[in-house]
Chains A and B, each alone.
Chain A
Amino acid sequence: MSGQTSANTVGGWTDEQIRSLFDEERGLIDPRIYTDTLLYERELDRIFSRSWLLLGHETHVPKPGDYLATYMGEDPVILVRQKDASLRVFLNQCRHRSMRICRADAGNARAFTCSYHGWAYDISGKLVNVPFESQGYGVLDKAEWSPLQARVATYKGLIFANWDQDASDLDAYLGDAAFYLDHMLDRSETGTEAIGGIQKWVIPCNWKFAAEQFCSDMYHAGTVSHLSGIMAGLPEDVELGNVQIPTAGFQFRSDGGGHGTGFYVAEPAMLQAIMGPRVTEYWTDSPAAEAARRRLGSAERACQLMAQHMTIFPTCSFLPGINTVRTWHPRGPGEIEVWAFTVVDADAPDEIKEEYRRQTIRTFSAGGVFEQDDGENWVEIQRVLRGHMARNQTLNAQLGLGQWRTDHPDYPGRISYVYSEEAARGFYQHWSDMMTRSDMSAALHRRSGLTAPGQCGKSIEVAK
């Protein structure tokens, strides 16, 4: 097999070589996955062109013509609400000379006109007017020369898009992870709404550091990364030494999808430190918490899961309870743009919405007392990996290796202790599979998926 040059050799790496970069059984990572330019180009093709990617929340574009200019991987796209309330996502690229069709971040439009030669598009992304068409082109096939359309689907307010017509639908893609998404998205019959505004900033680090941490890493929060963030939220007369860092909780690894989550159970110290007493009370002991208990069918899931972290593969990450949601847009192997927003229950009292707004700005944002320190870690890792010897040292992903079960009575998927890297191993195994297998869509369809004890809602595909 080795030395074989065939269709399996793409961008200088053979499938076999790529598979050897992550050793699932022994929990070993080859750090070149974070630095190699050819691997990154392959990620854009095999992962970002075939996965469901988070673009925003339905309430970002409530009215017909409302649009967001955003990205799928490195590709600029426009997300637009249609007159029939459906959503469209298409490449933000004029097919004449590749000019960006829409150059504002957001707004409301009746049409998009390319500022280079005036090719005009309606809000569904259809080319409708070409200057000097009859003189210059005779008749131009406008359907053929319209921008590329993506598939769009929503899951309980969150909008995802996918370029791959053969990819499984969003429900199958989320699979057993939807159960855990519902902790944030399905607490109230009114669903969630986004607090206005998307915060954007640049971190010079590989996208997988951010995505893996939200997928699998309570370890950094329970040890030293965020001690000063915790300290910033303490009452003035309470010392850090008096804080009981939680120790009880679980981690979940999705069955084959690369998704992961983890949470403390019935230990509120971390949630208190991040969101303060009012949000903690709202989440655990309030009429809204009671409504969530009824909807989710479990008092523990609704009210006792604390400081939950989660990633939907590859780059959709969020923290149920804290309610920050973000996409890590890749910008080469060594840089990301973070696009972050906050959601709240649509029927939450105004003072709770305000508290969510202020506390997530305070903690999980570019200036957030927690997130400041994440940016510091990832940047330093990326710098260290410039080293030739450093890039050739195997990294340890063995925390909780082999310590999991799939027969938990309350929680679907592969369940391990809250301080584990089982979900990270699932994340990297899925990365490896996506990079090397052409049958991933079928594989996602086949997996056990929706075997959750609780109910999971259905995603809605809104444009194809």
Chain B
Amino acid sequence: MKVTTEAADLSKNDRNSGQGMQLRPQISNVDVQVQHEIEQFYYREAWLLDNRKFKEWFALLDDDIRYFMPLRTSRIQREGALEFSGDNEFAHFDDDIKTMKGRLRKLLSDVGWSENPASRTRHIVSNVIVNTLDSDDVYEVSSAFFVYRNRLESQVDLFAGERRDILRRRADGIGFGIGKRIILIDQSTINSNNLSILF
């Protein structure tokens, strides 16, 4: 696949660099083995979340993680660059390693009511586009997600979007660590009573 039109430049509509990367679909520059390893990493990562192996999932986060989900608004075409909230604006999530550890502590506690009893989730990850960065061991990856949540008796929430990650190869675990995760959710008004699950 090679797409070079302006409209396909995923970074073009970003208000700033908050969404993280100059990602643009281009002819894949990674070999089949790397593509396979990264896709397998995502499947295993999703498995950890969906099976509530939260400690193992949190161990995938690098110490300099930024876990960021900007707000999204409906804008007229000529103001499309303002669609995502910027770095110094409000967001759905903007966490570092310390605040992520606090979220883990809440999740594992007996008194975290929004996830106790726990939600049933299914993370489907697809459309994995990998770009190599300067170092062989660091990759910039776009993927599409579809997350289904069912909780308590009959609550159902559906979330779709794109994740833009920086992945760093690790010798242990499931092969990579997450250095950055930018989550571009395909909703402006969040159609759920809370965001107590992870993306």
Contact = CB atoms under 8 A, between A and B. Distances in A.
Given A199-B90, A342-B90, A375 B194 contact: yes
A369 B82 CA distance: 28
A86 interface: no
Contacts of A365: 90, 92, 195
B175 to A, nearest CB: 27
A225 interface: yes
Interface string A217-238: 0000000110111011110100
A357 B90 contact: yes
Contacts of B101: 236
Interface stretch (A89-97, A190-198, A296-304, A410-418): A190-198
A231 B94 contact: no
B122 interface: no
B193 A201 contact: yes
B197 to A, nearest CB: 9
Interface in B143-199: 152-153, 155, 188-196
Nearest to A360: B90
Interface string A375-396: 1111110010000000000000
B76 interface: yes
Interface string B92-106: 111100010111011
A104 B75 contact: yes
Nearest to B151: A376
A231 B95 CA distance: 16
B196 A367 contact: yes
Interface stretch (B28-36, B55-63, B110-118, B127-135): B110-118
A305 B92 CA distance: 28
Contacts of B114: 372-373, 375-376
A147 to B, nearest CB: 19
Interface in B53-71: 69, 71
Nearest to B86: A196
Given A195-B90, A196-B85, A199-B90, A231 B111 contact: yes
Interface residues of B, number: 42
B91 interface: yes
Given A201-B190, A367-B194, A227 B94 contact: no
Nearest to B109: A228
A383 B152 CA distance: 11
Nearest to A229: B106
Nearest to B197: A367
Contact of A195 (B73, B89, B92): B89
A231 B105 contact: yes
Main secondary structure of the interface of A (DSSP, over half): mixed
B120 to A, nearest CB: 15
Contact of A233 (B69, B79, B102, B113): B102
A342 B91 CA distance: 11
B40 interface: no
B14 to A, nearest CB: 15
A361 B94 contact: yes
A103 interface: yes
B5 interface: no
Contacts of A225: 113
Interface stretch (A105-113, A312-320, A448-456): A105-113
B82 A373 contact: no
A203 interface: yes
B74 interface: yes
A372 B195 contact: yes
16 contacts: A105-B188, A195-B88, A195-B89, A196-B86, A205-B193, A231-B109, A234-B105, A341-B90, A354-B88, A361-B90, A362-B95, A367-B92, A367-B195, A367-B196, A373-B112, A379-B193
Interface of A: 103-108, 195-205, 224-225, 227-229, 231-234, 236, 240, 337, 341-342, 353-354, 357-358, 360-362, 365-367, 369, 371-373, 375-380, 383
Interface of B: 69, 71, 73-76, 79, 82, 85-86, 88-95, 99, 101-103, 105-106, 109, 111-115, 152-153, 155, 188-196
Given A357-B94, A360-B90, A372-B194, 20 more contacts: A104-B79, A105-B73, A107-B75, A108-B79, A196-B85, A196-B88, A196-B90, A197-B85, A197-B90, A200-B188, A201-B194, A202-B192, A203-B193, A205-B193, A227-B111, A358-B99, A361-B91, A367-B194, A376-B113, A379-B155
